[in-house]
Structure 1
Amino acid sequence: MAQALTHRLEAFTRLSPDDKEALAKLSKVARVVPPRRDLIREGEKPKFVHLMVDGWACRYKTLPDGRRQVVAFFVPGDFCDLNVYVLKEMDHSIGAITRLSVADISRDDMDALTTNYPRITQGLWWEALVNAAIQREWTLNIGQRTAYERIAHLLLELFLRLRTVGLTNGISCDLPLTQTDLADATGLTAVHVNRTLQELRRDGLIVLEKRRLTLPDIEALMTAAMFNPNYLHLDHEGRYLDSNQ
């Protein structure tokens, strides 16, 4: 599963064997977090950069009355806030969705990596830009798209992100999210999410069984969601910025 990080960064830059070896060392699991437990909570002091090695997690905010807004999903190969250790305290929480294997990376190790491996640094810059683009797209999703479009768009994004790190099988992928998770990420109720998923099934755009998502007609689903994948930068433009690579 440590290869997920390599796959992720190779979407943005070409990595040498030494780069890959450094990433493999970085991806050593430091701890395992049980499902539905917090990795770190709002108000706590961050000490490490967290790398998702295996499993799913989410970034979320809560209101005093307990209402939750999921603002990001993390899959294997994702970092949680590359420079988070500069903060005095967390302004959000990171929670495990599934059983989660995490690499805790110290500031010194992160600084050494970016100093000694410029191609990795380039990949991390691109990843940060893509993460910002994803956040903008989520804002557009909640602000302008219908419930049908929101759910379709989110499922497509997750599928493409998983495909980038080699975690899809043809037109299928694991989807361990509950309807409540989807509701908290899209500003809908769980009942509305259930109804919307049923509509997508009836229209032949998704098959969702036993936490396994299948997209029978990805182009049709993209049309229904008004999905433009350009914000994910899947065309690998970053790989060609440096002619010496």
Structure 2
Amino acid sequence: MTDTSWLPGTLLRRIDETSRRALLRLGVERTAAASRVLLREGVQESHVILLDDALAKVTVAMADGRQALIDVRVSGDVIGEPRSATVTACRTSRIRIIQRSELRAFLRGHPDAAMELAGIVANRLRTANRRRVDFAAHPVKVRLARILWEIATAYGYRDHNGIAVDIHLTQDELATMCGAAEITLQKALRDLRTAGIIATGYRRMLVRDAAALQSRADAP
């Protein structure tokens, strides 16, 4: 793939071509079937995974035994740094399994990639902490706006109608990310569509009014 084939916000999009080619030569290529667990929360292993052509969901265990969806990962992302959640393939995916020793050697030789990966990890930790606060302090419509804005800014790209995001999340998955009942999530989504802020279609979301979505996301 070219650099523009990777979604904005992914490691492979953020590093230069030399580093990108070197990273894509690391590890061993594997195919993961849909619903296969790629990484399991709490299990210590000696590798990380580069998502070459993939879509995966990130979940954590709740006190009642259910898995809560907290984020998504797409082609170009590295997962397993840090290993604090379960990551499951959402569709048949091509991945590269990279030993940590290989990754450390790569990062020493490509300091630009090391800086980008550190920034991505820091952003993910901030996002996770913010969501824990949001669940307790904000209504569903604000939590939804924040999640959609985070996904759009991380993985979206500009087209003539707005910011397009080619990531498919079901309403049930979005409801889980928002910590809301699905019927409540449906109403919040309908309000955003009626206001002309977003449009949803098959495996795609379009942010038509970025300023309005950001304003709702920043609501106190």
Tell me which interval the TM-score lies in, with the shorter structure as reference length: 0.7 to 0.9
Deviation at 1:36, TM superposition (A): 2.8
Q: 2:102 aligns with which of 98, 109, 118?
A: 109
Task: Classify 1:141/1:7 alpha carbon distance in 2 versus 1 (closer, same or farther; 3 Å).
Answer: closer
| Residues 8 and 154 in structure 2, CA contact (< 8 A), matched pair in contact too | no
Secondary structure of residue in 1 paired with 2:81: coil
**1:147 is matched by which residue type in structure 2?**
V
Q: 1:198: how far off? A: 1.3
Distance 1:94 1:119, change over 3 A: same
User: Which residue of structure 2 aligns with residue 189 of structure 1?
Assistant: 181
Change (3 A) 1:149 1:19: same
Task: Classify 1:219/1:25 alpha carbon distance in 2 versus 1 (closer, same or farther; 3 Å).
Answer: same
Alpha-carbon distance in 1 for matches of 2:9, 2:215: 27
Structure 2 CA distance for aligned equivalents of residues 225 and 127 of structure 1: 21
2:48 paired residue number:
49
Contact 2:9 / 2:154 at 8 angstroms: preserved in 1? no
User: Residue 154 of structure 2 aligns to which amino acid in structure 1?
Assistant: R
Do the aligned residues in 2 keep the contact of 1:34 with 1:98 (CA within 8 Å)? yes
Of 155, 172, 189, which aligns to 1:180? 172
SS at match of 2:25: helix
Q: 1:6 to 1:108 in 2, by over 3 A?
A: farther
Residue 150 of structure 1 aligns with which residue?
Answer: 143
Partner residue, 2:128 = 135
Give the corresponding residue for 1:34: 33
Matched, 1:209 2:201: yes
Residue 20 to residue 60, structure 1, CA distance change in 2 (3 Å): closer
Deviation at 1:76, TM superposition (A): 2.1
Taking the aligned partners of 2:94 and 2:78, their CA distance within structure 1 comes to: 12
Unmatched 5+ stretches in structure 1: 85-90, 228-245
Gaps of 5+ in 2: none
> Deviation per CA, 1:136-191, whole angstroms, max 9, x where unpaired?
2222332222111111211111111113xxx6645222231111111221111222
In 1, Cα distance between equivalents of 2:8 and 2:193: 34
1: CA distance between counterparts of 2:19 and 2:171?
39
Which letter does structure 1 place at the counterpart of 2:149? Answer: L
What is the match of residue 97 of structure 1? 90
CA shift at 1:35, angstroms? 2.5
Q: Counterpart in 2 of 1:126?
A: 119
If asked which structure has higher relative contact order (CA below 8 Å, sep 6+), I would say 1
Matches of 2:33 and 2:73 in 1, distance apart? 15
Checking the alignment, whether the CA contact within 8 Å between 1:97 and 1:177 is kept in structure 2 is: no
CA apart distance, 1:113? 0.4
Structure 1 residue 116: Cα displacement:
1.6
1:137 match: secondary structure: helix
Distance apart, 1:25 and its partner CA: 1.9
Once residues 62 and 2 of structure 1 are traced to their aligned partners in structure 2, the CA distance between those partners, rounded to angstroms, is: 36
RMSD: 2.9
SS of 1:98's equivalent in the other structure is: coil
Normalising by structure 2, report the TM-score: 0.83
